[in-house]
Structure 1
Amino acid sequence: MSIVKIENVRVLDPVNKVDSIQTVFIENGKLVEESQNIVETIDGSGKWLMPTMVDLCARMREPGQQQHGTLQSEGRAARENGILHIITPPDSKPIVQDNGALIHGLVEKAKLDGGIYLQIIGAQTQGLNGKQPANMGGLKKGGCTAVSNANAPFADDDVVIRTLEYAAGLDLTVVFYAEEPEIAKDGCVHEGFVASRQGLPMIPAIAETIAIAKYLLMIEATGVRAHFGLLSSGASVALIKAAKAKGLPVTADVAMHQLHLTEELIDGFNSLAHVRPPLRSVQDKTELRQAVKDGVIDAICTHHEPLSGSAKLAPFAETESGITAFDTYVPFGVALVDEGVFTALEWVEKVTLAPARVANMLERWENESGLVLVDPDLEWIVSKDTIISQGKNTPLLNQKVKGKVLRTFAK
């Protein structure tokens, strides 16, 4: 046995609601009783020890988009930044997430190549065509616990209802990335002053709220368990809050960057701030933060979307949307604690225990999770050299941040 001893570390355990300074012993990512077989001793003064994180939305770019990232590159980036379990949408290119037999192979490859536990959301319709339901029975046999049409539109609302009924019958969660396509069509940024001044096509917040309102009525009619991912609008919070008060089986998450970054960053046609859903107003940011604090929004995700350098070189509206997010996830979390939005234990809960519950994988997470040693005071520069991900596409490039994962302890 090889035991690592960490002295005087702040243990943040959301399962047992522990926040205390301890001396701990770790073997294979788990806390163990005191042992004589210590191979390493670490001074944990001023450091945090927390469980490995669960990410409800990250695109790993494999298969089909290895110019942006691979299971090996992004798996390594996730693991070294303390994220061990990753849920990914069903929109790889080509789309293979409508075939349960192929999904198992990707999960195995993610563990072998990247050292992470990958959970794949199955396609809600065949090839995400929005017309015919996918073989959800086969997807469930392949290991899927949820389905989604990702950002692809549905042909009509009847297709949505039929797929919800199908999913409900199989006890699958349906994940919505809510956006009304006719309203959001051709848009790329938040409808506001900055976009108007620059003449960029806009996506109003109502594109999100109309879609959520419509889907909530369908959820109520079919009884399906549903999750709303990547909320970006403060107005969406009221709809989710009302649905939960009504007893509907719904959960929600928000991307970490939506709790920090706003539409001002697109000024000067900064394509590194091009993300979908778009960065919105300061008011939206404030309301989203409060919703996470109150539990209306259940969890925080990375919305990691690595891109090659060329993907951001066209005129703003023609660039690919996405922000690389694994490497800045912990600094953003530390900032939320420093700003008093959350206590350290509350933040840890929102990126570990809460998303594990949302993904219906609580027991699995507890069995497979490791431990993460964080230095909340370590300052570093976000650069192409310090970002572990293959994608360097973040508006935080060349900025100083605080907080970094020093080590991930896991099998």
Structure 2
Amino acid sequence: MHNLLPQSFVSTLSGTINDHLDKNNIDHEMWLLPPLVDLCARLREPGQQQHGTLISEGQAARANGFLHVIIPPDTNPILENGSLLKGLRERALDDGGIYLHILGALTAGLEGTHPSNIAGLKKGNCIAVSNARRPFKNDLVLLRTLEYAATFGMKVFFYPDEPSLSGEGVAHEGYIASYHGLQGIPWIAETVALSTQLLMVEETGIAAHFSQLSCKSSVELMRWAKDKGLPVTCDVAMHQLYLTDDNLEGFNAQAYVLPPLRSNTDQQALLRGLKDGTIDAICSHHEPLNATAKQAPFAESTPGISNFDTFMALACQLVRDEVLSLKELVNKICLNPAKIAGIETQYAEIGGAVLIDPDFKWQVTAQTMHSNGKNTPFFNQHLQGRVVETFFG
């Protein structure tokens, strides 16, 4: 068994894990990893329980190795009242069995006009603040808001997108979108926003994390920022490493996600950035949807992919393809995300472990998925690698 647990995680669990291996007659190669930390997932509660709940998605997260999950603030109601967040975290642990970490709203109502009550959000133990994918009124508002957040020592999570360029687009601007008559989203919509935000970080000195980068130029900009020594990190969604806009062929709404699936050139740049360390982490960008959400015509359907259940199989594939070593994978999906989220101490104190069978072959079906959301472009495909057990407590 490949044991990648930090030493502090081993002592309380080693007997339990060995008993599990013996009881189930497991004698082939397994991986033992620390619990996964997800830097972006939507659990659909509060406000969209028709798609998922803290119970359903929390249990799906835990079954797939995620013990710590970070959610963005664009729920309903918006996560901007620090005094209400404790109850949300308690329900996530009691009902879903996961530790929930919350990004508070950077601007009031996420309207991009003036700062939220960042002091109250810090008191409510938000790990950072974000405006999700909502725009700012102008760059001056962004600058002043970042300056204000910096006074409280709050990290900012960005999801770079320039709405004047992305507009009503639903797919990567390229041949596939043109052939299908779909309104495109140019790659520059991401990089224009990212460029501005990086310059604002340089000006204010605020620590920032950039989530779900999707294109080649974004990776290049992050290299530049890190070479300059800016206090920045970034992640990529797992599906961006395996899917491209080719998967939209035939108006496949299951592959409709924002930011959109990009070109093969972008995909290869993301893999290189992951391998050379420019990209610090991999998130799930889990967005479960009910059965009707993907049944409308492509442009009118709801964007999102349910990713908890396929995450580990794709992670195993990264190791088989020698994109990452197993140790590097642990850094990208466990240790680095905990550091980025600022929960290292809690992460070590809570401990836990995830047992993975990297050779387990299974088919993605409604019956093999734990999440309420069955919206995945991998549906009915055969994947290899799965979480066997999540140990905790």
Contact 1:82 1:372 in 2 (8 A): yes
Q: Mind listing any 5+ residue stretches in structure 2 that lack a counterpart?
A: none
2:88 aligned to which of 88, 106, 114: 106
Task: Give the C-alpha shift of residue 43 in structure 1.
Answer: 2.8
**More helix by proportion, 1 or 2?**
2
Contact 1:84 1:369 in 2 (8 A): no
The 1:150–1:44 alpha-carbon spacing in structure 2 relative to 1, beyond 3 Å, is farther
Q: Residue in 2 aligned with 1:268?
A: 250
Task: Give the C-alpha shift of residue 45 in structure 1.
Answer: 2.5
Task: Give the C-alpha shift of residue 94 in structure 1.
Answer: 2.4
Answering whether residue 3 of structure 2 is matched by residue 11 of structure 1, we say yes
1:65-86 deviation digits (Å, cap 9, x = unpaired): 0000000000000001010000
* 1:33-72 to 2 correspondences below 5 Å: 40=23, 43-72=26-55
Q: Output the CA distance in 2 between the equivalents of 1:33 and 1:207.
A: 50
Task: Give the C-alpha shift of residue 143 in structure 1.
Answer: 0.5
Task: Give the C-alpha shift of residue 151 in structure 1.
Answer: 1.0
CA RMSD of aligned residues (A): 1.9
1:89 aligned to which of 68, 72, 75: 72
Q: Output the CA distance in 1 between the equivalents of 2:132 and 2:18.
A: 48
Q: Output the CA distance in 1 between the equivalents of 2:25 and 2:352.
A: 17
Identical positions, percent: 51
The 1:39–1:48 alpha-carbon spacing in structure 2 relative to 1, beyond 3 Å, is closer
1:54-99 deviation digits (Å, cap 9, x = unpaired): 000000000110000000000000001010000010001221x110
Tell me how many residue pairs correspond in the alignment: 391
1:203-247 deviation digits (Å, cap 9, x = unpaired): 111000000101111111111111100000111011111111111
2:345 aligned to which of 363, 367, 372: 363
* 1:232-271 to 2 correspondences below 5 Å: 232-271=214-253
User: Any idea what SS the aligned residue of 2:236 has?
Assistant: strand
Task: Give the C-alpha shift of residue 42 in structure 1.
Answer: 5.2
TM-score by length of 2: 0.96
User: Any idea what SS the aligned residue of 1:328 has?
Assistant: helix
* 1:207-218 to 2 correspondences below 5 Å: 207-218=189-200
Answering whether residue 57 of structure 2 is matched by residue 74 of structure 1, we say yes
Q: Residue in 2 aligned with 1:19?
A: none
Task: Give the C-alpha shift of residue 44 in structure 1.
Answer: 4.7
**More strand by proportion, 1 or 2?**
1
Contact 1:81 1:405 in 2 (8 A): yes
Q: Output the CA distance in 2 between the equivalents of 1:271 and 1:280.
A: 15
TM-score by length of 1: 0.92
Task: Give the C-alpha shift of residue 166 in structure 1.
Answer: 1.0
2:159 aligned to which of 137, 157, 177: 177
Q: Output the CA distance in 2 between the equivalents of 1:78 and 1:242.
A: 34
Q: Residue in 1 aligned with 2:117?
A: 135
User: Any idea what SS the aligned residue of 1:138 has?
Assistant: helix
Contact 1:240 1:296 in 2 (8 A): yes
Task: Give the C-alpha shift of residue 26 in structure 1.
Answer: 6.9
Task: Give the C-alpha shift of residue 145 in structure 1.
Answer: 2.1
Q: Output the CA distance in 2 between the equivalents of 1:105 and 1:98.
A: 14
1:130-177 deviation digits (Å, cap 9, x = unpaired): 112100000000011200000111111111111101111111111110
Q: Output the CA distance in 1 between the equivalents of 2:27 and 2:112.
A: 52
Q: Residue in 2 aligned with 1:20?
A: none
Answering whether residue 239 of structure 2 is matched by residue 224 of structure 1, we say no
Q: Output the CA distance in 1 between the equivalents of 2:303 and 2:374.
A: 13
Q: Mind listing any 5+ residue stretches in structure 1 that lack a counterpart?
A: 1-8, 17-23
Contact 1:54 1:83 in 2 (8 A): yes
Answering whether residue 376 of structure 2 is matched by residue 391 of structure 1, we say no
User: Any idea what SS the aligned residue of 1:391 has?
Assistant: coil
1:86 maps to amino acid: V
1:253 maps to amino acid: D
